[in-house]
Amino acid sequence: MPHISRRPVETMARFGYGARGVVYGLVGGLALLAAIGSGGQTGGSRNALQTLLTQPFGKVWLVLIALGLFGFCAWRILEALTDADNRGSDMKGWAIRGAHLVSGFIYAGLALFALNLALGRSSGGGGEDQAARDWTAWLMSQPFGQWLVGLVGLAVAGTGLAFIVKAWRGRVADRLSLPAEKRHWICTIGRMGFAARGVVFLMIGGFVGLAALHASSSEVRGLGGAMEALQRQPYGWVLLALTALGLFAFGLFGLIQARYRRIDAPDLDDAKAAVAQMGR
C-alpha cells in the first residue's frame, strides 16, 4: 500500500492531539486565573468550551476543536483496534488499548458538545459533573450496579496512578521523535502535565468509589468538581494553582505531541476493516 494511504489517518491523529491540547490548555488557564483571583473558573472541559464561545471567532474555534476531537476519537479507536502503537496482546497491552477505546468515545461526546455549542443547539446543560452523575445513576440502576460503579472508580483511579508513575519515571516522551536540544524541557512539561492529570484522575476515581460505597450518584465529580474540591482545602488556592499549571502544561504537551509524536498509522484499508469488524 503506498505511503500516501497512511497520510489522512496520521493528519487526523495530529489534528486530534492538537485539539485535545487546546482544551486542556483552556481548562488549566481558566483554573489558574481562578486560583490567583483574576477571574477564570474551575470548571471542566465543557465549561472551558462555553467560555470560548464568548470570545472573538468563538464559534469558528469551537468547530475546529470539534473536528479535531472527532479526529482524536477516530485515532484512538483505530489505535485500539489495529494496535497501531504496538502495545501487544498481553494483559497490559489490552488494558491500554481498552482505555484508549473508552477515551475515544469520551472525546466523541466532547466533540459533539463543542459542535452543538457552535451551532447554537446546546446551552451546555448541567456540565460535566451532572453528566457524570447521570451516567453513574444509570449504571447504578443496572444489575450489580454498585459493583460496576466501584470497578469504574478503581479503573479511573488506577489510570491516575499510572499517569503519576509515568511522570515520576520521566517516560513521557517515549513515543516522541524529539530534537536532542529540545528533549529536556519538553520532558519537563510532559511530566508536569501527566502528574497533574494523574492527581485529578485519582480524585475523580475516589469520588466514583464513594458513589459506589454510598449508593449515591450525587457523590460523583468530574474534572471541574475535582478542582473545586482542591480549592476548598487548606491552602486550596496553592493546590489549585499547581494543578492548573500542570493541566496547562499537559495542554502544551498535546501541541507538542501533534508535532513530534511517532504515529505508525494503519493504511486506509486496514482502518476500514477494523471499523467494519467492530460493527459486526
CA torsion through residues 171, 153, 74, 68, sign: negative
Q: Per-domain residue ranges for the chain?
A: 3-275
Question: For the chain, what is the mean pLDDT?
Answer: 87
Report the phi/psi class of residue 235: left, alpha or beta, with left for phi > 0 and alpha for psi in -120 to 50. left
Please determine, for residue 28, whether its predicted confidence score (pLDDT) is greater than 50: yes
pLDDT at residue 33 tops 80: yes
Q: What is the CB neighbour count within 10 angstroms for residue 14?
A: 21
pLDDT of residue 60: 94
pLDDT one-digit tens code per residue, 163-217: 999 999 988 988 899 988 999 999 999 999 999 999 999 999 999 999 998 888 8
The answer to whether 32 and 26 are in contact (CB under 8 A) is no
pTM of the model: 0.88
Q: Which among 63, 181, 39, 182 has a CA at the least distance from the CA of 112?
A: 63
Q: Tens of pLDDT along 220-240?
A: 888 888 888 888 888 889 999
Per DSSP, 144 falls in state: T
Residues 146-164: what's their mean pLDDT? 93
| Euclidean distance between CA atoms 31 and 124, whole angstroms | 19
